[in-house]
Amino acid sequence: MPLQGLPAKDYFNREDELSYLRRLAGLRRDILADNVLLTGSRGIGKTELLKQLHRSLFWDSQDVVPFYYSFKTAALKSATFARDYFTRFIRQYVAFVKKEPLYVNNISMPLPRLMPLISSLGLDWLIDCIDDFQENADHGDLYGQILSAISTPAAAAVRGGRPVLVMLDDFTASEDLHETKRGDAPGLTSLFEVSMNNSLCPHIITGSPSAKLEAIFSDPSLHKATERMRLSPLPEDTAYELFSSLLAKMKISCDREAASGIIRRVKGNPLYIRNLAKAAWKMKKISLGKGDLAECYSFDIIDGETAFYWSSVFGESLRDKGLRRTILGLMMHRMARGEADDQERLSKILGVRETQLATALDVLELNDIGRGFDPVVEDFVQSLYFREVEAKTDAEIRKLIEAKYEMTGDSSVFEMVIPMSEQAELVAARAIDQIGKNINLEPELMEYLQLALVESCINAMEHSGSYEKKIYLKFTTSPQRLEIAIESPGRHFTLDSLKESPTEKKLAAGQKRGWGFTLLRKIMDDVRVERIGDRTRVTLIKNIKRSEVLN
């Protein structure tokens, strides 16, 4: 929906594009600009740019009428599309003149109820447009209906004396416009030509995948008088600014240096950056170090918004399971070996027929997931491959993805699994004892750390209630910091649910249990509780002072 974009203050680094597009109607009228084909990779912010433009014109302009339309798969039957396109335009036009967003968003209000308002605004010619459209509908003239709908913005620009800026989003879906079933009326998209040729009615057209959009615009009727605007990724500093501003809203702090790796990995893509921030929030992070960011990222790739986004893209394009497996295999092969192999050789390596391989290559090409795809898609594909082909569990996949981004350099990582059985916590305590000795921690601190670990393990055993009677431990040490992650399956709990009363109050109430988390908080510098898939993770962090290390 237009007018539902990000607040303008949270919209980053597209001032130049926005400024140009705001002036597009005037430039086009003076034959200084063409229609605009807005391209860029998925998630780069094409839709958001249109929404920002719509809002800006809606509130700040008196003489350029913005019209935003997104092709929805549900409205691709041509009669439905025509009515939808037409009524949305009328509403948005009236809303603009009245400066009342209610009419934009209230799509259930029938057009006849708008008639008195239209008349009172002196837009009687708009009533004529409605009558014309209705007449076509009454006569069952499908072609007339579509043409009438598509040409209404241009007609309104002429008759209303105000240019109309048409913004068509998800335009690639227009290829699926049909009469009764898909494919029965190819070429309906070219009907936009008439409207696009009107200099009072510039069009900005966008959609994904880019390859499909480009293919539509290879039609000369659309290609002429169209210029291209390509949205680039956010530069690194702006990307970090966006990320930290999103985190700040959720009261999560982040170390810039730690974030730089992941920001580079998502290549300044605002969608991924937003999804990463949302993942941090879902994982109840309070502050993000390098390890936390790797976790948030792997969560986002496997279970988060990015996974959801790409799953839907893959779901749409790759409904055939056999083809899907071929494509996953092909992409994994490309990641490992590049694209050196020819088709014949590839089909042998992958064990698929050449025809199947050719189809797979076409699908990749057409969906922007072919050549030079981004590292996030690479990780997503890997996670899909691990799940669907290698039948790995989410926890295993998470580890594999995280392992790519683990702390490196002067840190060491130890992992162990202990059973939920009597005194198993002492085995973990032994491990931390040796780990502490490896980095020369003073014995007294070690004893406290052992106790903290023992308490966490006991807590995991008591809260779990899971059939999987295991506790997963991960120790990460560096000269400055010791981090222990204790994961247990089963029931989740949060720090809030473990709030403890003051000692006096507890004792007065005869309450003798529940000292564990008080000890953890006193011993450690930071204690975090997060939900990771079906597990609860307690992370204990100790920043090591120089005085706590033996010479």
Partner 1 sequence: MNATGFRVKSRLVNDVAVLYPQGYLNNLAGEGLVSECGKYTRAGVKKIIVNFRETDLINSIGISLLLHVMEQLQAAGGTLCFTEMDKVQLGIFDMLGLTKYFRFFQNENGALEFLGSGNE
By the criterion CB under 8 A, which residues form the site for partner 1?
Answer: 422-423, 426, 429-430, 433, 444, 446-448, 450-451, 454-455, 458, 502-504, 507, 510, 512-516, 518-519, 522-523
Cβ atoms of residues 536 and 529 within 8 Å: yes
Give CA torsion, residues 437, 439, 445, 449, to 10 deg.
-80
Q: Which is nearer to partner 1, 102 or 508 (CB)?
A: 508
Q: Which is nearer to partner 1, 158 or 458 (CB)?
A: 458
Q: How far apart are CA 77 and CA 458, in angstroms?
A: 61
- Least CB distance from residue 523 to partner 1, whole Å? 7
Q: Which is nearer to partner 1, 122 or 443 (CB)?
A: 443
Q: Which is nearer to partner 1, 222 or 435 (CB)?
A: 435
Residue 147, Cα to own-chain centre: how many angstroms?
A: 35
- Least CB distance from residue 458 to partner 1, whole Å? 6
SS (H, E, C) 157-219: HHHHCCCEEEEEECHHHHHHCECCCCCCCCCHHHHHHHHHCCCCCCEEEECCCHHHHHHHCCC
Q: Which is nearer to partner 1, 342 or 422 (CB)?
A: 422
Q: How far apart are CA 363 and CA 92, in angstroms?
A: 37
Question: How many residues are present in the chain?
Answer: 551
**Strand 253-254 relative to strand 164-169: parallel, antiparallel, unpaired?**
unpaired
- Least CB distance from residue 169 to partner 1, whole Å? 58
Q: Which is nearer to partner 1, 75 or 424 (CB)?
A: 424
- Least CB distance from residue 511 to partner 1, whole Å? 9
Cβ atoms of residues 247 and 254 within 8 Å: yes
- Least CB distance from residue 19 to partner 1, whole Å? 60
Cβ atoms of residues 347 and 354 within 8 Å: yes
**Structure-block tokens of residue 201:** 């009615």
Q: How far apart are CA 242 and CA 307, in angstroms?
A: 21
Q: How far apart are CA 122 and CA 116, in angstroms?
A: 10
- Least CB distance from residue 456 to partner 1, whole Å? 11
Residue written as token pair 């052992």:
450
- Least CB distance from residue 498 to partner 1, whole Å? 12
Q: Which is nearer to partner 1, 323 or 426 (CB)?
A: 426
